[in-house]
Amino acid sequence: MSAQILIVEDEIKIARVLQLELEYDGYRAEIAHDGVQGMEMATAGGWDLILLDIMLPRLNGIEVLRRFRRKNEQTPVLLLTARDTVLDKVMGLDQGANDYITKPFEIEEVLARIRANLRFSSKKGEVEEDRLTVADLTLNPKTREVRRGEKEVHLTPREFDLLYYLMRH
């Protein structure tokens, strides 16, 4: 079964080009043209990956990401935006984005980043064990809970994914 990708992009031509390219590569893609519609579709579930613009009408992409991450920490979200300052990138990644792609972009790079994120997220889904332990650090991949000894450690989604990767490898 091909991966399902949600494109949340208000520029109709860009959204359509992305959809056509993704479908040509064998993905199933749907489009939302504003933040409210994107949030509704994202939380409805069933997505393997979400491409999310930041500057959206009705509800900006960072707020969509923030709300979505409260409900779903595992689906990869790639920010696709014209905002290219270091502060914008840091803010997006700290809010839970898995990657940040600036416009204008080359479609080959977008497709490569999608493949990389889908590979990583599919490996996370294969975990069967209840927890990983290194010294007194314990990580539960199913509940995304981390403990050092008896104390709970709070991590951003990105920090959790990095720690998970390091503990697995």
Q: How far lies 152's CA from each of 98, 132, 140, 142, 146, in Å?
A: 23, 15, 11, 15, 6
- Pick from 159, 160, 153: nearest CA to 136: 153
CATH number given to 4-125: 3.40.50.2300
Range from 52-56, 86-90, 141-145, 162-166 that averages highest in pLDDT: 52-56
- E strand or H helix that includes residue 153: strand 151-153
Range with lowest mean pLDDT among 118-122, 126-130, 152-156: 126-130
pLDDT in tens, 145-167: 899 988 999 998 888 889 988 88
Q: Which residue has the higher pLDDT, 34 or 84?
A: 34
pLDDT in tens, 63-76: 999 999 988 888 99
Q: Which CATH number fits domain 132-168: 3.60.20.10, 3.40.630.10, 1.10.10.10, 1.10.8.10?
A: 1.10.10.10
- Pick from 35, 104, 24: nearest CA to 65: 35
The answer to whether residue 36 scores a pLDDT higher than 90 is yes
Check residue 105 and report its DSSP letter: -
The SS3 of residue 100 is strand
Range with lowest mean pLDDT among 6-15, 54-63, 81-90, 128-137: 128-137
Contacts of 146 (CB under 8 A, 6+ apart): 137, 138, 139, 140, 152, 153, 154, 155, 160, 163
| Residue 122 binned pLDDT confidence (cut-offs 50, 70, 90) | low
Q: Where in the chain is the domain with CATH 1.10.10.10?
A: 132-168
Q: Where in the chain is the domain with CATH 3.40.50.2300?
A: 4-125
- Region 44-67: mean pLDDT is 94
